[in-house]
Amino acid sequence: MTASIPANSDESVTGPAAGDARKRMPWSIGEIDFAAIDVARVRPDRELFYLLVSASFVESGSDTYAGNLATYYAANPEASGWLAEHWEAEELQHGLALRRYVEHVWPEFDWERGYARFFEEYRHTCSVDNFEPSEALEMAARCVVETGTAALYRSLEQASDEPVLRDLTRRIANDEVRHYKHFYRYFNTFNGVERLGRWRVLGALVRRLLEIKNEDAEIALRNVLRIERGTEDIPQKDVRRLNSRVSAVIRRNLPIEMTVKMLLRPLDLHAGVERAIRKPLVALVSRAVLH
Ligand SMILES: [Fe+2]
Ligand SMILES: [Fe+2]
């Protein structure tokens, strides 16, 4: 666990890198040694099962979101190009790698069917109508999403002592932090033109934080339960109960300092102000962060 936003070796964050380097993925799924998974160590952990399936569902649905975002930023070829060529491929790789992990450890779970049902519901939440009203505000909101995923995977890394899962979640978390840095840089670019006040930026951060809590996790968990129970009819109270059960695992392992720093960064606050709002924010983050 680290107290600051981790440095990353990928220099493309700070400017256009040359040719092939821009096309390369930071790691490939072939580097994950699925055969080496210590199945006995992780299989009994039901919370981890729900968390990993949920994460694999949401990540695997990234292409719909990425396509809409690239369209939203079409007037900025650098941003839309990065979204379409890098960000989308990396998020989809997260989904595939997590899926492979789940299928290896819990082969009885019908991932394909669960995902199809999940996506039926999830795709309605990926509409451009749900985007923030300005380019800078949507970039600020994307910083929240990447903060959430970075925190989630750092937390999952801490939550398990299974070596392959730790390796995988560390790689994904590093990607999410790098994504954050891209979105943060784009936020500053757009905000240089829009010149938004802090309250408007704060509004976008809070709105997206609440959305993460309410939508993605519940849709994912509802559809894991549908497959598990073999029925369409899943009471909302069961979804809520399961959500708080698995959220507790995340909260226990959350890198809170990193999370809060990442969340506050787009507000560009003075140090004294940041200290004053830190405590309530830590409480909010603890409840809200589930990818
Ligand atoms: Fe991801
Ligand atoms: Fe990401």
pLDDT digits (tens, 9 = 90+) for 125-181: 777 777 899 999 999 999 999 999 999 999 999 999 999 999 999 999 999 999 999
Would you give the distance in Å from CA 56 to the centre of its chain? 10
Residue 101 has pLDDT above 80, yes or no: yes
Reported as half-sphere exposure (CB side, CA atoms, 13 A), residue 47 has a value of: 16
**Ligand nearest 94 Cα, by number?**
1
Q: Over the chain, what is the mean pLDDT? A: 87
| Cβ proximity of 182 and 61 under 8 Å | no
**Ligand nearest 178 Cα, by number?**
2
Tokens read off for 86: 């890098």
Question: Quick one: pLDDT at residue 270?
Answer: 87
How far is the centre of ligand 1, averaged over its atoms, from the C-alpha of 60 (Å)? 9
Question: Quick one: pLDDT at residue 4?
Answer: 38
Give the Cβ contact number of residue 129 at 10 Å. Answer: 8
- Provide the residue type at 145 as one letter: V
260 or 15, which is more confident? Answer: 260
pLDDT digits (tens, 9 = 90+) for 212-234: 766 788 999 999 999 999 999 99
How far is the centre of ligand 2, averaged over its atoms, from the C-alpha of 231 (Å)? 32
How far is the centre of ligand 1, averaged over its atoms, from the C-alpha of 55 (Å)? 8
pLDDT digits (tens, 9 = 90+) for 43-99: 999 999 999 999 999 999 988 888 889 999 999 999 999 999 999 999 999 999 999
CA–CA gap between residue 157 and residue 151 (Å, rounded): 10
Task: Give the angle 156-70-18 at the CA atoms, nearest 5°.
Answer: 80
Which pairs with CB-CB distance under 8 Å and at least 24 residues apart come from 89-92?
89/25, 90/25, 90/26, 90/175, 90/179, 91/59, 91/62, 91/63, 91/66, 92/59, 92/60, 92/62, 92/63
| Protein residues within 5 Å, CB atom, of ion ligand 1 | 59, 91, 94
CA–CA gap between residue 171 and residue 98 (Å, rounded): 12
51 or 3, which is more confident? Answer: 51
Question: Quick one: pLDDT at residue 114?
Answer: 97
**pTM value?**
0.87
- Of the pLDDT bands very low, low, confident and very high (cuts 50, 70, 90), residue 256 is confident
1 or 37, which is more confident? Answer: 37
